[in-house]
Amino acid sequence: MDELPVGLLFTILAILIVCSAFFSSAETGMISLNRYRLKHLRKQGHKGARRASRLLKRPDRLISLILIGNNLVNFITASLFTVVAIRLWGDAGLAIAPVILTVVVLIFAEITPKTIAALHPEKIAFPASTILLPMMKLLGPLVWSINSVTNGLLKLLGIDPHHNGNEQLSADELRIIVGDAGPHIPQRHQGMLLNILDLEQASVEDIMIPRNEILGIDLDDSDEVLLDQMRTLEVTRIPVFQKDINNIIGILHQRNVSRIINEHGAMQREQLMEVIREPYFIPETTPLHTQLFNFQKQKRRIAIVVDEYGVVQGIVTLEDILEEIVGEFTSNLSDQSKDIYMLADGSLMIDGTATIREINKNLDWELPTEGPKTLNGLLLEKLESFPDAAVCVQIDQYDFEVIEVKENKIKSAKASMHKKIEE
């Protein structure tokens, strides 16, 4: 080697630095690949993705292969540069060589290639796999031998070397991925996906129409009253009960109304009992995602919500759940909720029957949802009594002023939010 010209030695060193940079970038690029995008590309037949997937099946072997190559190249580089340094600077080269080589390797063989690979993993990993796969076959026995020793050490430490970790995503992790999708998923579609994930956090009690707002017909009413109600009710499926809403007989679909009226315009009660469908009862604690599946399984579109004592609490429809996913089609606050509208002074007028979930969703607030489900219930719980009008209540950073009380219920309240003081 002493007879080789210095220029040739520097050329060999440059080639070795390039090889070291290859191994460094390949390691970072392979590890930085998005596993889910890799699966997608592999299913589409991408050759680079297929090669990378084969290598990543055994990450321990891949890392061993890259480290063998990288360390071998770096050791040869260090030895060769030491020879060159001694020829150029004599014994002083022994002190100068490590400093210079460390700077060169860090810049050109470590930091720069690894940064590029981290930023563009696919552009580095896929081409690199064309070299790494043949190397894996060529150096397979050496890699296997080294891995046998290292895996044995890992087992002694209580670590399973063949355990690749849990790649399954939790709901919270999936929310982050959807939120970070950016322009790849339209914003409206992102909202729908997030709403689907949120279904498991809500129950039918959170979205049901309460019993005092159920629009139905009472069989104890006269035929004339029943016919008039059928003509005026703006619902497709009409609950049919007798005397009390707790005694629901069935559900009448509007399309069947014509079948219970004879040619003289009179109602036929016998025919009415034949066309109504038996009611479908569900517990108030049923999660929304479960109820969506149950609607599909039972081929139903409306359900009667009951509490643990079998008392009717409200009704929920398939459309109510789908609206939780799709959301509203308007962006105006007053159109988003009939129970919330903006006042001229910037405050909000909220109906007492508005659900806490609806308020939080439309206003991006954080009112407590563990207890009462409506604003009326939340304010009454806070006040611990039935108030007169103009009573003010503060809940966290939200201020409420009771405007109207009727029939032992808070009908409406004025609301505003003030900035939360940091402690």
Model pLDDT for residues 390-402, shown as the tens digit of each residue:
788 888 889 998 8
Which segments of the chain belong to CATH 3.10.580.10?
Answer: 202-326
Phi first, then psi: give them for residue 234, nearest 5 degrees: -100, 50
Which segments of the chain belong to CATH 3.30.465.10?
Answer: 333-417
| Mean predicted confidence (pLDDT) in 164-171 | 65
Q: Report whether pLDDT(302) > 90.
A: yes
| Mean predicted confidence (pLDDT) in 342-360 | 87
Spell out a b/e string for 37-52, using b for 16 or more CB atoms within 10 Å of the CB, else e: ebeebbeeebebbebb
Contact 93, 47 (CB under 8 A): no
Q: Report whether pLDDT(155) > 70.
A: yes
Q: For tokens 């709901």, name the residue.
A: 171
pLDDT at 288: 92
pLDDT at 67: 92
Q: Report whether pLDDT(4) > 70.
A: no
Long-range contacts of 166-175 (CB under 8 A, 24+ apart): 167/35, 171/197, 171/200
Task: Take residue 166 and report the two structure tokens written for it.
Answer: 């849990």
Q: In a 10 Å sphere around its CB, with 0-12 CB exposed, 13-18 middle and 19+ buried, how is residue 148 labelled?
A: exposed
Domain 202-326 indexed as CATH 3.40.50.720:
no
Q: What percentage of the chain reaches a pLDDT higher than 90?
A: 36
For residue range 374-418, list pLDDT tens digits in order.
888 899 988 888 887 678 888 888 999 888 888 888 889 999 887
Q: For tokens 């063949």, name the residue.
A: 162
For residue range 170-219, list pLDDT tens digits in order.
777 777 777 777 677 777 777 788 888 888 888 898 888 888 888 899 99
Q: How high is the mean pLDDT of the chain? A: 86
pLDDT at 359: 87
Sign of the four-CA dihedral 125, 131, 132, 133: positive
Q: What is d(CA 320, CA 155) in angstroms, rounded to the nearest whole number?
A: 54
Domain 333-417 indexed as CATH 3.30.465.10:
yes
Per-residue confidence band for 419, with pLDDT thresholds at 50, 70 and 90: low
pLDDT at 191: 78
